[in-house]
Amino acid sequence: MELQVRSISSLKNQYQTGGLRPSRVVDILTSQIEDEDPAIWIHRIPQEDLRKRAKELEKFSPEDLPLYGIPFAVKDNIDVAGCPTTAGCPDFSYIPDFHSRVVELLLEAGALLLGKTNMDQFATGLVGTRSPYGIPSNAFNPEFIPGGSSSGSATAVAKGLVSFALGTDTAGSGRVPASFNNLLGFKPTRGKISCRGVVPACKSLDCVSIFASQIRDVSKVLKILDRWDPKDPFSRETQTEWSGEIPKSPRVALMNLDQWEFFGDEQAQAAYQESIQVLNTAGMKTKPVDLRLFHEVAKLLYDGPWIAERYLATSPLIEKSTGSLLPETRTIIEAGKHPKALDAYKAQYELADYQNQLVEFWKDFDFLALPTTGTIYRTEEIKHNSIQMNSNLGHYTNFMNLLDLCGCALPTSFRGDGLPAGITLFGPAFHDQQVLQWSDKIHLSAKTGAGIERGFTPQSLHYDAPENTLDLFVCGAHMTGLSLNQQLIELGAEFVEEVLTGPEYRMFVLPARGSLPERPGLVRVSEKTRPLPGELWRMDSKNFGFLLKTILYPLGISQVVLEDGSQVYGFSCDSAGAKEKMDITEFAGWRAYLHAKKDQPK
């Protein structure tokens, strides 16, 4: 059996219906991984430990944990307690006592960690070939590079071995491998996700990035990781999250034709031209502009004093044993010994000037869209001119963290040779949600699938129902696997997604009535309580009337506010009908209440 893990919601739905358990997922994926490229991984979690974790998860209900049994991987510069962290360098290896903050949060959410992935040594590279642990194969053509430095994380997702993976992104390491493997690579605003427990490249610029097959899954993972961390000095509270509205047809800056740089790669240029059409189809207003300032900033990252941060992060090892580093890595990092404090201040002033000049740019545009890379190389080519070719791959990526931008690399086209290509959508700091919303629209318009599964159809971030259909929120006996779910199925309804209400609802128990079982009554109240779980089901609008005839007072259909602020039709209860009924809000959902009731002594 080959397990499809690309969609978090579809995998969770299989758990909820009882057709799948985490233990079975462990066995299937372990077998699939054994048959795959071993260079994807630096360290895999032993199968007996995975089974133990699966059994622990099976003590819970899938509704109890947002990432219940969802398989994931992390780049090997991210600490996992009890597992070696190498950062792609065997002599650097150590075994941490504590999880990194990101791993800690994901495990608390119920996710299933399969292992630590290969990477360019010390996250110094965009090629994916600078590792003593081998070179992960590009998911589409093993003759080509996988992209780096988060090479293993990207290929693990692209080949369907995990539902999502974490990488890091200082100069493009979370975007380039996503582009080369037909994935989404999201780089958040600096400090939005904690870097505590992550081996630094440039500590003041580093970001943890997310690889996934669809924006909905990126959004789910980001929601769990978006926590201010007082133990990370570069963590930033997100109370300043931008709350304005992006126009329905946002203004998107493209680069002037005379600034196009594809390093002689005509197929990459043709793919970018197709990608511009995708942006227009998605409803964006594109306009070419002079982007010289962005490229000037990009030069500062490696030509300026920030390279000293890379030397600082590795200096204990490099000063003791320079032979422990690969030649390309050593050449780049040793350059960090030379900048002086005067150089650092001079570069800071220069960067501040660029940032000031770009203030007007962001008044005129909502987003910037550029090719993620200008080309791709064969692995054999990289051997002969690695540093220059690596620099070429960073042409459109290196300025991002210096300018404090967020962005998402997404697949928008395929080249003539069958390799994927894409663009990165950039936005100012704390515009993460706006970038995700429009990346979702672009990805849906592009129809490029995800990873090696070009036929994969991503689910919309906003649950936009097609014409002549209606999305219905259910939170009781109509949910998957419960007693009235068959009513929805007989009316042709299809499961869409698990969702949460906003925090302004309470839930009460309505007694059984005739042939109807005990049901929950969802009542909207003035005080905030806690989000309550439910499901969205999509049905043909013409069948909605048949469902209404089965609903008896005090239940009815009304607008229900979801956690993200959107509103959908859903089951709700007249407050008068819930009077003096048992309040079960603290159980956090109908399934949890039924589970607790079942466990009560008779």
- Tell me, yes or no, if 223 is annotated catalytic: no
Looking at every residue in the chain, the average pLDDT score rounds to: 93
Name the active-site residue from 7, 9, 163, 173: 173
Higher per-residue pLDDT: 23 or 240: 23
In this predicted model, what pLDDT tens digit does every residue of 317-354 receive, in sequence order? Answer: 999 898 999 999 999 999 999 999 999 999 999 999 99
The CATH 3.90.1300.10 domain(s) of the chain lie at 8-301+344-446
The CATH 3.10.490.10 domain(s) of the chain lie at 469-599
Buried b (16+ CB within 10 A) or exposed e, 78-106: bbbeebbbbbbbeebeeebeebbbbbbbb
Q: What does the pLDDT read at residue 246?
A: 67
Terminal CA-CA length for the chain: 41
In this predicted model, what pLDDT tens digit does every residue of 504-513 receive, in sequence order? Answer: 899 999 998 8
Nearest CA among 259, 252, 293 for reference residue 276? 252
Is the pLDDT assigned to residue 14 strictly greater than 90? no
Residue 602: how many other CB atoms lie within 10 Å:
2
**Where are the strands (E) in 207-327, listed by range?**
208-212, 251-255, 285-289
Name the active-site residue from 149, 151, 153, 179: 149
In this predicted model, what pLDDT tens digit does every residue of 383-405 receive, in sequence order? Answer: 888 999 999 999 999 999 999 99
Is the pLDDT assigned to residue 535 strictly greater than 80? yes
327's enclosing H/E stretch is helix 327-334
Name the active-site residue from 7, 12, 75, 439: 75
Residues sharing a CB contact under 8 Å with residue 507, sequence separation 6 or more, in sequence order: 475, 520, 521, 522, 523, 532, 583, 584, 585, 587, 589, 590, 593
Q: What does the pLDDT read at residue 238?
A: 67
Specify the CATH number of the domain 8-301+344-446.
3.90.1300.10
Specify the CATH number of the domain 469-599.
3.10.490.10
Average of pLDDT values for 84-96? 98
Residue 527: how many other CB atoms lie within 10 Å:
7
- Tell me, yes or no, if 526 is annotated catalytic: no
pLDDT band at 193 (very low <50, low <70, confident <90, very high): very high
**Where are the strands (E) in 250-366, listed by range?**
251-255, 285-289
Is the pLDDT assigned to residue 527 strictly greater than 90? no
- Tell me, yes or no, if 149 is annotated catalytic: yes
Average of pLDDT values for 276-301? 96
Average of pLDDT values for 462-482? 83
Euclidean distance between CA atoms 420 and 585, whole angstroms: 47
Is the pLDDT assigned to residue 101 strictly greater than 60? yes
Euclidean distance between CA atoms 104 and 108, whole angstroms: 6
Average of pLDDT values for 472-500? 91
pLDDT band at 503 (very low <50, low <70, confident <90, very high): confident
Q: What does the pLDDT read at residue 447?
A: 95
pLDDT band at 15 (very low <50, low <70, confident <90, very high): confident
Residues of the chain with pLDDT > 90, as a percent, come to: 79
Residue 159: how many other CB atoms lie within 10 Å:
20
Average of pLDDT values for 141-170? 98
Lowest mean pLDDT among 196-205, 398-407, 528-537: 528-537
Residues of the chain with pLDDT > 70, as a percent, come to: 96
Q: Are 207 and 397 in contact (CB under 8 A)?
A: no
pLDDT band at 307 (very low <50, low <70, confident <90, very high): very high
Q: What does the pLDDT read at residue 468?
A: 84
In this predicted model, what pLDDT tens digit does every residue of 409-433 receive, in sequence order? Answer: 999 999 999 999 999 999 999 999 9
Is the pLDDT assigned to residue 367 strictly greater than 80? yes
Q: What does the pLDDT read at residue 156?
A: 98
